[in-house]
Amino acid sequence: MRELIADGRLSAASKISKSGEAGWRRADQDSILKHLLTGDLPRDGTSSAHSDSFKSTALLIEAKLVEEKSTILTIVLGLLLPGLGQMYVGNILKGIIVLISCTISLIILGFIFIGYIIAFILYVWAIVDAYNHAKHLNAVRQAAWLKQRGL
């Protein structure tokens, strides 16, 4: 957590969301996290429950910050242009193939109705595929983060 604060990725104004909570709030509004942000860390004399709660909060927030690819942005990009969602999550080649396939379907096969159907199927598949890949990528990154910390 100290690294996140030191390099500016986590500040008092950062929006956080903890597991089991609805919505987002400022980091300095979290009763435990504010101690870390102000430098007023729990001392050795604090209760075990408070210390465990502090560690738990810190891990939840760090794990949330590991997630780098927004699934919503992936869907929006895929809606804007077929293949753009794949490119956003790192599948550049797959994104280019999807874009070319949809373009060919519309241009060449668009003279007959089947071209529109094929293009629509590719379009929907591309959005779902990009969304699933973003979720998978986030899960892999969080698992690697937890493994790195021995959790």
> For residue 57, what are its two tokens?
């909060």
Q: 70: Cβ–Cβ under 8 A, 6 or more apart, which residues?
A: 134
pLDDT number for residue 3: 65
pLDDT digits over 24-49, tens only? 777 777 766 666 677 655 554 444 44
**Which pLDDT value is given to residue 112?**
78
Does this model's pTM top 0.75? My answer is no
pLDDT at 80: 92
In 3D, which of 7, 135, 21 has the Cα closest to residue 75?
A: 135
Q: From the CA atom positions of the chain, what is the Rg in Å?
A: 22
Q: Average pLDDT over the chain, rounded to whole?
A: 75
Stretches where the chain sits below pLDDT 50 are 44-50
